[in-house]
Structures are given as C-alpha cells and as structure tokens.
Amino acid sequence: TNSSVLIYSWSRRTMENLVRIVSVIPFITVFLSMNILMLYVFFSGTSFQENSRYVLFAHMLVNDTLQLAVAVLLLWITELHAKIPLPVCHFLVALTGSAYLITPLNLAAMSLERYVAICVPLRHAEICQVGRTWIVIATMWFLGTSPFLADFVLLCVLQRRNFFLLSLDCTREEIIFTSAQSFLRSLAHGLDFSVVALIILYTYVKIWLTARRMRANKSSATRARKTVILHAFQLGLCMVSFTYPITENLLLGQKNWFYVNLTFLNFVVFILFPRFLSPLIYGLRDETFKSHLRRFLPCWSVSIGPAFSK
C-alpha cells in the first residue's frame, strides 16, 4: 500500500541520516584528540610560544578545530532536518565560513615565514617576531569575518525586520536571498584564494632558487620547499570545494545515491580530510615537535618518524 511505501521510504531516509551522523563521530574523536594533544604540547613549552612558526601552527589547529566543530554541528542539524532561527543560523555559518577563509591566509603566513627563514635568515628573528605574528593573526580574523559582517548588514538593509524571525534549514545557500550576497561571497573567496595562491607560488619559487644556490644547510631549504608544496596541496583541496555548487546544479533533479549524499561527500572530502592533514604535515614532520610528542606517547612508533620527516 501507499502508506507502507511511505513508511519504508521514511525509515530508510532516517536510517541513512543516522548512519551519516554516526559515521563522522570516530573521525571527529581522532581529530580532536590529535589537536588537543598538539595544543597541549605547544602550551607546555615556552620555546614553542616564543617561535612565530609554532604560534601560526597552533593558530591553525585552533582555527581548524573551530571550523570542524561548527561544520559538524551544521551537518547534524541538516541531517536531522531541524529548523533554527535565522540569526542563529547566520552566526554559525559566519563562524565556519570565516574559519574557512582564514585557513588559506594562515597557509600563506606560514609559507612566508619559511621564505624569510630560508631566503633572509639574518633578518628572520627581526621580521618574524611573536608580537608581529599575533598582529598577523588578528588581521586574518578581520579579513575572514569582514565578508560575513557585510553580508549581515546587507540583510539588515534589504530585508524587513520580521525577516529575522524566520526559522529555516541552516545551510549557507538557505541564507542567501539576494544577488548582492552571492557576488560578495564569490568576490571574497576569489580574492582570498587567488592572492594566497600567488604568495605560495612566489615563496616556493624563491625557496627553490635559494636551495639550488645553497651549499650548506641545503636539507633545511629542501624541507621548507616540501612544506610549501604541502601548503599548495591543502590550498588546492580548499579551492576544489568551489566546484560543489556547480556539481550540485548539474545533478539537480537526480534521485540517485550520489546526488542525495553529495553534501555529505563534499563535507568529508573538502572539510574533514584537509583538517586531518594539518597535524600530520606539521606535527609529525617537525623534529622538535615530534620529540615532545614522544614524551606524551610512550607507545610512539619510532619507525614512522622518518616517513614524515623527509
């Protein structure tokens, strides 16, 4: 009967939603455990807190944790089809969106720090002071939050007051009501990622040229060059996520498994996976950081050290 079909369809969708909700819990648990351990190591030694490189690394961990925590919350809200007030939704979307824009800015700052360390080593201590690093981090947050503050102002100007009493499904697409908002979002993403891509390309080329000329300490320059390549790989993963709206529109109206799970796949590939790379790239490749990690992990396998240090 029709009622039986409806009940079966509803129960199947509910089960699929629950599977998606539960499936991210192990990944989130591992991710948070790694980040908490890394941050504990950072705050356990003043030598890390007085080094601009590690300050940027710690900021990246905090930013990634914030973005992922809010993104998972939004994913669960979406899967449960829960409607929340528009102001609350806008705040959550702005929080995770700002962290998303700050990620490439932090990658650019870390690439520039490596560039100064290799190409201008005598001025590294002067240029990369910790006080200046905190100013750079504050600037990142200003740049990352500005598009969403402007977006909220647009809504206040263009919409009626009772508009903010709405409750809706909380996704970025649901709170875009005007073409001006779409343009602002595209402009912010385009400028952010294009400028960062140029910075990473410039630092890679300069470090590569310096490494070719260096006779002493050549291994340090090589490691720095590989780190910048990994920055570029992370940036590439973030940029590929821009194709998600295009893919969604191409598949619009399709009822196959891929389209139904497209949002979840996008979350896993372009949000969850890049966040796992950060601790692996920087925490396990850095010899000083790795030596401190061994103190807190007695069962640490020495055999994995060289694999991440090369």
Report the pLDDT value the prediction gives residue 304, as an integer from 0 to 100. Answer: 43
Report the pLDDT value the prediction gives residue 303, as an integer from 0 to 100. Answer: 43
Tell me the average pLDDT across 163-186: 82
pLDDT at residue 95 greater than cutoff 90:
yes
Q: Of 97-101, 139-143, 158-162, which one has max mean pLDDT?
A: 139-143
Report the pLDDT value the prediction gives residue 259, as an integer from 0 to 100. Answer: 58
Please identify, in words, the CATH class of the domain defined by 2-167+176-309.
mainly alpha
203 C-beta neighbours (distance < 10 Å), count: 26
Sign, CA torsion 110/112/114/120: negative
Decide: pTM greater than 0.75: yes
Tell me the average pLDDT across 278-304: 67
pLDDT at residue 253 greater than cutoff 80:
no
DSSP per position, the chain: -HHHHHHHHHHHHHHHHHHHHHHHHHHHHHHHHHHHHHHHHHHH-HHHHT-HHHHHHHHHHHHHHHHHHHHHHHHHHHHTT-EEEHHHHHHHHHHHHHHHHHHHHHHHHHHHHHHHHHHSGGGHHHHT-HHHHHHHHHHHHHHHHHHHHHHHHHHHHHS-GGGGG-EEE-STGGG--SHHHHHHHHHHHHHHHHHHHHHHHHHHHHHHHHHHH-SSSHHHHHHHHHHHHHHHHHHHHHHHGGGHHHHHHHTTT--SHHHHTHHHHHHIIIIIHHHHHHIIIIITT-HHHHHHHHHH-TT--GGGHHHHH-
**Any idea where the domains of the chain sit in the sequence?**
2-167+176-309
Average pLDDT, the chain: 78
CA 46 to chain centre: 26
Q: Which of 90-99, 100-109, 111-120, 212-221 has the lowest mean pLDDT?
A: 212-221
Q: Which of 103-112, 131-140, 178-187, 277-286 has the lowest mean pLDDT?
A: 277-286
Of the candidates 285, 282, 280, which has an alpha carbon nearest to the alpha carbon of residue 305? 285
Report the pLDDT value the prediction gives residue 91, as an integer from 0 to 100. Answer: 93
Query: What is the 3-state secondary structure of 77-94?
Result: HHHCCCEEEHHHHHHHHH
Report the pLDDT value the prediction gives residue 246, as an integer from 0 to 100. Answer: 56
- Dist CA 132 CA 260 (whole Å): 46
Each residue of 152-169: pLDDT tens digit? 888 888 877 777 788 888
Q: How confident is the model at residue 275 (pLDDT cuts 50, 70, 90)?
A: confident
